[in-house]
Amino acid sequence: MTVTLVHPERVNRVDVHHQVAVAQGSRIVYLAGQVSWDTEGNLVGRDDVAAQAEKCYLNIAAALDAVGAKAADLAKVTIYIVDLDDVKAEQFVVGRERAAATLGVEFQQPSTWIGVTSLAAPGYLVEVDAVAVLT
């Protein structure tokens, strides 16, 4: 395994991700920020944070698959949510967990969540940027 996720004893433990990822490998894969678009570039889940989060993670899985990687190879994700608040954070987790269930994986990598005023195109509420490490 190229990435080992850790919950350090002297750091606050949160349910939505691990605080540390130890990556061992020789290839680093940087994914462009993924938004909730389909293969034709159409927005999926207008006005629905959960649906957009789900599609972002499904897109991440597809991008990883294209280079022979998998969710377990993710070392870090950065999440951007328009007008982030507690409700949208909860909706994001619901969508992420739906994608995880669909794919049969866990998305527990260290993450940073950033509230933004807008994303690159109207209607997009969520963008997820990811880094993976491969052997």
> Scanning the structure block, which residue is given the tokens 């190879």?
73
Give the domains, in start order, of the chain with CATH numbers.
3-134 (3.30.1330.40)
Separation CA 38–CA 92 (nearest Å): 18
- Digit-by-digit pLDDT tens for the chain (135 residues) are 678 888 888 888 878 777 887 878 788 888 999 999 999 999 999 999 999 999 999 999 999 999 999 999 999 999 999 999 999 999 999 999 999 999 999 999 999 999 999 999 999 999 999 999 998
- Write down the pTM of the prediction: 0.87
Q: Can you give the pLDDT at residue 50?
A: 98
Query: Taking the alpha carbons of 21, 24, 30, 34 in that order, is the dihedral positive or negative?
Result: negative
